[in-house]
Every structure is written in structure tokens, then in C-alpha cells.
Amino acid sequence: MNNLLETQIEFLKGVGPARGELLRKELGIFKYADLINLYPNRYIDRTRYYRINELTNSGSEVQIVGKIIHLKTVGEKRTRLVATFTDGTGEMELVWFQGQKWIRENVKLNTPYVIFGKASAFNGSFNMPHPEMELLTEHEASLRSAMQAIYPSTERLAQRGITNKVVAKMMQQLFTETQALFSEVLPPSILTDLKLLSKREALFNIHFPKSQDLLAKAQFRLKFEELFFIQLQLITKNIVRKHKIKGHAFGNVGNYFNDFYSNHLPFDLTNAQKRVIREIRNDMGQPAQMNRLLQGDVGSGKTIVALMSMLLALDNGFQACLMAPTEILANQHYVGLSELAKPLGINIKILTGSTKTSERRIIHEELESGELHIIIGTHALLEDKVKFKNLGLAVIDEQHRFGVEQRSKLWRKNEIPPHVLVMTATPIPRTLAMSLYGDLDVSVIDELPPGRKPIQTVHRFDANRLKVWKFLKDEIAKGRQVYIVYPLIQESEKMDYKDLMDGYESISRDFPLPHYSVSIVHGQMKPADKDSEMARFAAGKTNIMVATTVIEVGVNVPNASVMVIESAERFGLSQLHQLRGRVGRGAEQSYCILMTGQKLSNDSQIRMETMCRTNDGFEIAEVDLKLRGPGDIMGTQQSGVLNLQIADLVKDRDILSLARQYAIALLKADPGLNLPENTPLKHAYNELAKKKNIWNYIS
């Protein structure tokens, strides 16, 4: 049966080469199977037949049974064809502006038709332009359902006459040709347990639903199946990695780790940090490669967890590296880690694009000889010249900024790949984490270090600027520092947003020397100038830092207590949250002020309210996911995995969790899918893995 579904689409009756080519180009439909999986966007309820004397001018679509008793052409220059249609309770007009010749030649007078379209009242009588028409005899004989499916389309398809009606006819033909014999792929135990429709019933009712109830059941079944296969692939990948990809078992918890933990911790670890370190120690103690995602909000203390994981590698005679996406961030990690590790006598160095050649040579030699314990760097670590004696742990910060290809270069530097700890301060909603990183084990630091006060966030309109400036002056008088962030560098004609240079000039006027001093940082400055401006601000030599979002990641100035975000309506939620995380790093109360224009879209209002309501990055990420959809959140390189045919990661998160539970249970009971009842599943899984290489999209 399934071989029939592999047939090229042009061989379906009513398609042919020209339409086949269009379907391929416009909708990616190559075979029968692709057409079956073209699921409707929405449905029109055609259970009800109206009478002409019941019509109201509501603008909704109606269906009427009646006869055409008269046809005439009206108008001189722009003619229209008008038919008088009656159903015994009254008369109305049907109107055509296009395709008049075809209608005139093919319409049968005094013969029962079912018409469907929007009826509108004009001068007391109703008319319907370009109705869908079908002979009552055909209407009753067809595979029609009460709910009419509306399929995805494109402008080009509509222009070339492939209307919704044509697609529905193709679908009908397909079901007739294949006899709807779709083989079941899910095991009987799951079907019984979840009371799922069979594959055949589900496909039939998604295209030709007999009722609302059957439609809902069909959607549930098909969404579950799609998410179940994705989870099956991810979990299998995780299991395979744990069994096949050998790793170094770090059995030794030695002097470096114990000495640091007992004598040099700058503060008590939170319970969340302790839990995560236990999870990492447990992973690294196994002879399989660790692949763990560490999520923690800005300021939750991921760096100390990374250092303690590195110390475990050192205790077992291995080296460690930390890779960050920007020089600023790499430098910050270097300064922070060197400070923490100073009493341990560890050799830590940094390698970035701007490291001098003479220093590079030393770093390369020390890495190969093993003298260098920890190297921190940017993409420079991936160069072929960089060789380790024995890399045991690779920590990657802000992972979504590195492509899969780049990361795999690190693994190839060793015969046995290093353990991998991926860190992110961009909270990823659980639903997305389950789908994008379902093959990674996830740890979350979900509490902030004690003594941190939550940042107070307020939304102010531009009209209140004077009050805001007065507040900034009061804070600076207490010895605090302020960030002011702008969305743009040069003016864009279309947008009346304050651009950075204008802002810098007006701030310099409002906060004049010698009482105040202002720094500026943006993406078009030379890295050296950027670093020196950052350094002046960090050292407290300037009170105000005017910047674009280059400061979003990783600048640590505990004395900065106010973040003003200009034109905040132009930023996404996760970006606003990242920017807010630049303050609140000291013991003082910190503030985030969101400045916007008076007119806000609905989404912008939701973003402002969410920011003022909560500091919880995960809650913010969930709202962001609802507003923007999954593809945008992960950036383009990750969006491939989200090309789902029917499921929606935001709306169907409960089905996703359910699918994951069942996939885990199934693989526990039958890891190789070798039990007879899992044979169809195994076959479908192997076919899918051939076609859709999901791991291309996943770290």
C-alpha cells in the first residue's frame, strides 16, 4: 500500500504534468504521500442549508439549495453575468464578473444546485458574487463532509486556477485511488491507552471530517504521532550517544575541586547550583560523553558551576576550555575565572582574534604540552593550529550563537571527544527545550544567589522624560551608574525613533561636564575603542553608558543600578530581559526603565506589562514564544526542526509532553524496537530518519 503513496503527484487523475510542477514549486508536493500530509488550515461548517427568506446581512458564508431560472448579461463596458436563483421561499441574484463564457455554456437552468458563498443585501434583495456551485446530485454523491476543509495556498496557485475546490477534488481522488488503506505505525498499546483513532480514520477525518468531535480526535492523533516521532529520534540519539560515544570517566574528585569548595568559594552555593553540580559530576563520572545544557537566568551563577566542572577535569589530569561568542564576553570570563582560581595556582590563558602572535605561540606550545590547564577564547579556539594534549571538558557559552559545524571542530581535536557543557542565559521555554534540545540532558539553575534584590521595572512614556532624568541624577548622586540603550545607530528615514547619536548629544547636554561624564559604545566602533570605553565605565570613570545592544551579553558592572531602554517597544522580550540583566549585579536596589512612544501595538503592550510583572526568565520566554512563534526564538539555524506539518509547539505543549513520556517508556521497554508489535513503528522510524535528518537541526 505504502508503495502507492510514493507515486509522483502528476500521475494522480486530474493533476497532470503542468499542475504537478506547480504543486512541487509552490507547496513542496512531490508524491501522493505529500498531498495526504497537506493538512487544512481551517474548516467551514457546511452542515446547515439556509433558505433565502432566512438570510441576514451578516457577511458570513451560507449554503443554499435551489435552481437558476434566468441568465442575462448586464452592463456595456464592464459586463457582468447575472442569474436569478430561487429556492421556493424567495429569489436572489448570482453575479459573475469573470469566467462568464464558461458559466453561460455550462450552467443548467431549472436544475437543483447547491450554491455556497457570501450573501449580501443590496436595495432590499440579496446577491452572491462568484458562488461555488455543484449539482445537487453530485453534492450528495461526493465524499463530502459537514466541515469543508480550507487548504494552504499561494497567490500563484490561485492565479493558475488551482483553487481550494480543485485541491479538495484532488484529495478526494487520492482517497478513492488508495482506498484509504493507510497502514498503522503506532503500537497497539499506545492506540488503546490513549484511545487514538486509527491512522486511516485520522487521515480521513482531517480532510473530510464527519463532525467537530471526529475532527478534534483526528487532529490529536496526527499531532501526537508527529511529536512522538521527533521525540523518538531525539531520545534514541541521546541513548546512542551514551552507549556509543565513549567519554572519559572522571572518577576522581581531587584536590583542585575539594580545595576550592572547602576554602575558596566566594559565597555559599544555592541549592540549585549544588543540584546542578551533582548532575554534572554524575555525568562526567560515566565512561560516556556528557552533553548537558545548563540554563540559568542572568546572574544566577553559571560561571562558578562551569569552573567547578573544569576543576573536575583538572583533577583527572585533563584540560578544559570555555568558548564564548564575543571577545568582550571571553574577556569577562577570563577575568572572572582567573580571579576565582588565583589561590589554586592554575594556568589559565585567553585566546581571541586580537591575541598577539608571540603570545599565541606560547599558548599553542603550552596547550600541546599540557602545561596550560584552562583556555578561554572565542572562535579562535577552533583554528586547526590549536591542539590540546588532552581536552576533557568543553564549556560553550550562549550556544545558539555557534553553528553545529563549528562545535564539531572542537570534538575532532581529541580521539575521545570531551564532555560538553552548553550554557545559556537565554531561558528556553520547556516546550522548545524538549524539541530542540531533547537529545541533551538539561540542568536549570532556578534561584538567584542570596542578597540579590529583584530589579524593579517600570514603563514610562516619552512625555515623562524630565521625571526620569531627575531620577537618574538622584541615583548618580548616590554614587551609582546608569546604562541608556538605543535600538538604532544611524537614523532610518522611515522611523522617528531617537537614534543613538542624537541621544548621546542630548544626554551630554542634560548631564553636562564636569558633574557628569558619558561613555558611548556601538557596533561600528573599533574593538579596541569599544573595550576602552567599557573599561572606563567599569572602573567608574564615567557615570552614564550610552550604547546599542552590544552590551546585551556579558558586561559586569556591579555598581550600575539603572538600565534605561529607549524605544523599548522595538525590542523583543528576550532582548529586553537580557538587557535588564546588566543591572542588579550588586547589593543595591536596581531599576529598569522602559521608555516608549505613546502609541503601542497590542504585542508591545503585552511585552511592557510582562517585563513590569515578572523577573522570571522562563515565564518571559513562554510569553515570548506565544507572541513570536518558535522559529524566531531560536534564530534561523534552528528553525528547520520546527517545520511541523500539523503540531504547534506553543499550542500543543501538553501533547508534546505526553509524546515524550510515551517515547521514553517505549524505548525503556524495547530499546531496539525489536518486539513484533513495534515492527511497523521501526519501519516508519527508519524511513523518516532517512528523509528528515532531524539531527542537522539539533546541536
Question: For the segment 8-55, what is each residue's pLDDT rounded down to a tens digit?
Answer: 999 999 999 999 999 999 999 999 999 999 999 888 877 788 999 988
Taking residue 546's Cβ as centre, other Cβ atoms within 10 Å add up to 25
Q: pLDDT value at position 217?
A: 95
Q: pLDDT value at position 434?
A: 67
Tell me the percentage of the chain whose pLDDT exceeds 70. 90
Q: pLDDT value at position 552?
A: 53
The position carrying cell 444546485 is 113
- Count Cα atoms within 13 angstroms, Cβ side, for 589: 4
pLDDT band of 393, cuts 50, 70, 90: very high
CB 408 within 8 A of CB 396: no
**Which of 517, 509, 511, 553 lies closest to 537, judged by CA?**
517
Is omega for the bond preceding 40 within 30 degrees of 0, making it cis?
no
User: If you average pLDDT over each of 278-292, 307-321, 374-388, 551-565, which comes out highest?
Assistant: 307-321
Distances (CA, A) of 137 to 61, 105, 141, 175: 22, 19, 6, 20
**Which of 81, 110, 82, 93 lies closest to 55, judged by CA?**
93
**Which of 73, 2, 71, 79 lies closest to 33, judged by CA?**
2
CA gap 325, 400 in Å, rounded: 9
pLDDT band of 622, cuts 50, 70, 90: confident
Q: pLDDT value at position 636?
A: 34
Q: Is the pLDDT of residue 687 over 80?
A: yes
CA gap 545, 56 in Å, rounded: 63
Q: What's the start-to-end Cα distance of the chain, in Å?
A: 36
- Count Cα atoms within 13 angstroms, Cβ side, for 248: 24
Distances (CA, A) of 48 to 65, 206, 325, 578: 11, 20, 60, 53
Q: Please give the backbone phi and psi of residue 92, each rounded to the nearest 5 degrees, phi first.
A: -145, 170
Express each pLDDT in 268-313 by its tens digit. Answer: 899 999 999 999 999 999 998 898 989 887 778 899 999 999 999 9
State how far Cα 168 lies from the chain centre: 32
Tell me the percentage of the chain whose pLDDT exceeds 90. 54
Weakest mean pLDDT among 190-199, 346-355, 356-365, 414-423: 414-423
Can you give the pTM of this predicted structure? 0.65
- What mean pLDDT comes out for the span 89-104? 92
- What mean pLDDT comes out for the span 131-157? 84
More confident residue, 500 or 221: 221
Q: pLDDT value at position 585?
A: 80
Which DSSP state fits 381? Answer: G
Q: pLDDT value at position 29?
A: 94
Which DSSP state fits 265? Answer: -
Q: pLDDT value at position 654?
A: 84
User: If you average pLDDT over each of 289-303, 327-341, 452-466, 479-493, which comes out highest?
Assistant: 452-466
Q: pLDDT value at position 699?
A: 35
Q: pLDDT value at position 436?
A: 65
CA gap 582, 563 in Å, rounded: 8
**Which of 300, 295, 324, 554 lies closest to 428, judged by CA?**
295
pLDDT mean across residues, the chain = 87
pLDDT band of 262, cuts 50, 70, 90: very high
User: If you average pLDDT over each of 129-138, 285-294, 473-482, 582-591, which comes out highest?
Assistant: 473-482
CA gap 433, 20 in Å, rounded: 38
- What mean pLDDT comes out for the span 527-539? 85
Helix axes 212-244, 199-207, angle to 10 degrees: 130
User: If you average pLDDT over each of 143-147, 368-372, 639-643, which comes out highest?
Assistant: 368-372
Q: Is the pLDDT of residue 96 over 90?
A: yes
The position carrying cell 522611523 is 495
Q: Please give the backbone phi and psi of residue 547, each rounded to the nearest 5 degrees, phi first.
A: -150, 165
Q: Is the pLDDT of residue 255 over 90?
A: yes
Is omega for the bond preceding 418 within 30 degrees of 0, making it cis?
no
Q: pLDDT value at position 634?
A: 43
Q: Is the pLDDT of residue 233 over 90?
A: no
Q: pLDDT value at position 2?
A: 58
Q: Is the pLDDT of residue 570 over 80?
A: yes
Q: Is the pLDDT of residue 691 over 70?
A: no
CA gap 351, 536 in Å, rounded: 23
Q: pLDDT value at position 696?
A: 38
Q: What is the DSSP string of 546-608?
A: EE-GGGTTT---TTEEEEEETTGGGS-HHHHHHHHTTS--SSS--EEEEEE-S---HHHHHHH
Burial class (CB in 10 A: 0-12, 13-18, 19+), 473: middle
Q: One-letter amino acid identity for 653?
A: R
Helix/strand/coil for 328: helix
Cell of 25: 514549486
- Count Cα atoms within 13 angstroms, Cβ side, for 190: 22
With a CB cutoff of 8 Å and minimum separation 6, the contacts of 585 are: 299, 556, 557, 558, 560
CA gap 478, 590 in Å, rounded: 12
CA gap 574, 623 in Å, rounded: 10
Q: Please give the backbone phi and psi of residue 97, each rounded to the nearest 5 degrees, phi first.
A: -100, -30
Q: pLDDT value at position 47?
A: 75
Cell of 695: 539531527
CB 680 within 8 A of CB 221: no
Q: Please give the backbone phi and psi of residue 545, each rounded to the nearest 5 degrees, phi first.
A: -115, 115
The position carrying cell 552548553 is 422
Helix/strand/coil for 396: strand
Q: pLDDT value at position 310?
A: 98
CB 289 within 8 A of CB 358: no
Q: pLDDT value at position 481?
A: 96
pLDDT band of 494, cuts 50, 70, 90: very low
